[in-house]
Amino acid sequence: MKPDFDLTKVLNRIEEAIRPFPKAAMFDLFERGYNSLFEQLISCIISIRTLDETTIPVSERLFAVARTPEQLLTLDASTLADLLYGTQYPEQKAYTMLGIAHRIVEEFEGRLPADFQTLTSLKGVGPKCANLALGVAEGKAGISVDVHVHRVTNRWGYVQTRQPEQTLKVLETKVPGERWIDINRLLMPFGKYICTGTLPHCSTCPVREWCEQVGVTRHR
Ligand code: SF4
């Protein structure tokens, strides 16, 4: 018989367990000084279908040349795609970024408003990147559900959902607002290094006592 799920204890245990591992890319970039909302949004676009190990150096390569919408607009699409080399879909991401920079300059006088509706109205920006950028850069409560958050919370039995969008809706009703940003900060590395997609490390997992291990048939 499992004890009642205690989110505070679970997150505290995970905080300790992930300490030896690298931080999630956007939190890492924030600590490196790339902490504006625009930079965080651009890094999140770089991170789409791209490993953190690539997202971080590619972001730094781009920010060495352009850190603001105005600076980004001095690049043509082909130069920008070259700077994004190594990520998935560099050409598409270059067009997306130029479109975003253009709108920020034209509509918002170069300053991106820290607001979910505005961010998600930008072509190519979904709830995941909007919430993550707002959370990391602005400290605004928001849950960003990536593959790790979706997988881990379903394995716990904390949510029972098929799509990340559904997971987001359920988590918003169950997780206290002051822990929303921790969901990303903690579960991304936890899902990457401990509750891995295949063969999760259940035998040494610090939160196993609360976890229903839904769908886990084999583990380490
Ligand atoms: S017990 Fe296994 S499935 Fe559950 S959180 Fe830990 S690693 Fe993931």
pLDDT for 103-141, tens place per residue?
999 999 999 999 999 999 999 999 889 988 998 999 887
Same structural domain, 37 and 82: yes
Same structural domain, 190 and 150: yes
Same structural domain, 129 and 38: yes
Query: What is the arithmetic mean of pLDDT over 74-83?
Result: 97
In a domain, residue 52? The reply is yes
Please tell me the distance between residue 202's alpha carbon and the centre of ligand 1 in angstroms. 5
CB 20 within 8 A of CB 192: no
Return the residue whose CA atom lies nearest to atom 3 of ligand 1.
Answer: 213
The pair phi, psi for residue 87, each rounded to 5°, is -85, 170
Q: What is the per-residue pLDDT for 130?
A: 93
Q: What is the per-residue pLDDT for 193?
A: 95
Integer Cα distance of 87 and 58 in angstroms: 8
Read off the DSSP letter of residue 139: -
- Indicate if the pLDDT at residue 63 is higher than 90: yes
Please tell me the distance between residue 187's alpha carbon and the centre of ligand 1 in angstroms. 11
Read off the DSSP letter of residue 125: -
Last residue of a domain, one of 138, 169, 200: 138
> pTM of the predicted model, to two decimals?
0.83
Integer Cα distance of 197 and 193 in angstroms: 9
Structure tokens at 120: 């998600």
Integer Cα distance of 137 and 50 in angstroms: 20
144 pLDDT band, cuts 50/70/90, is confident
Same structural domain, 51 and 152: no
Amino acid 139 reads G
Integer Cα distance of 125 and 120 in angstroms: 5
Q: What is the per-residue pLDDT for 141?
A: 79
Task: Give me the domain span that covers residue 50.
Answer: 25-138
CATH number at residue 165: 1.10.1670.10
Tens-digit pLDDT profile for residues 166-209:
999 999 999 998 898 899 889 999 999 999 999 999 999 999 99
CATH number at residue 109: 1.10.340.30
Atom of ligand 1 nearest to the CA of 201: 7
For helices 52-63 and 37-47, what crossing angle results, to 10°?
Answer: 140
Which residue matches tokens 């979904």?
126
Which residue matches tokens 């190519």?
124
CB 116 within 8 A of CB 98: no
Q: Which residues line ligand 1 (CB under 6 A)?
A: 152, 155-156, 194-195, 200-202, 205, 207-208, 211, 213, 216, 219
CB 143 within 8 A of CB 131: yes
- Counting ligand 1 atoms within 8 A of each CB, the residue from 201, 210, 217, 220 with the most, and so the one to mutate, is 201
